[in-house]
Structure 1
Amino acid sequence: MPVGGHAGHGTSAAIILVLFILLVIVTCGFF
């Protein structure tokens, strides 16, 4: 198994994207 291959990159990108969207929603809701 290659370390840091494309298999894990897609999952990490999706998680980061979801966290970023949640951060924007919380920020907009807070202000």
Structure 2
Amino acid sequence: MDIHEYQAKEILSKYNVPVLPGSVALNPQRL
């Protein structure tokens, strides 16, 4: 089964598995 990271986070959070919040870096200064 191939899933993306965001899909895995959604699945895990449904079962109360702690996941770290993610964000999108639009430029190098946000890294």
- The TM-score bracket by the shorter chain reads 0.3 to 0.5
Higher relative contact order, structure no. (Cα contacts within 8 Å, ≥ 6 residues apart) = 2
TM-score, scaled relative to structure 1: 0.37
State the TM-score, normalizing by the size of structure 2: 0.37
Larger Rg: 1
The structure richer in helix per residue is 1
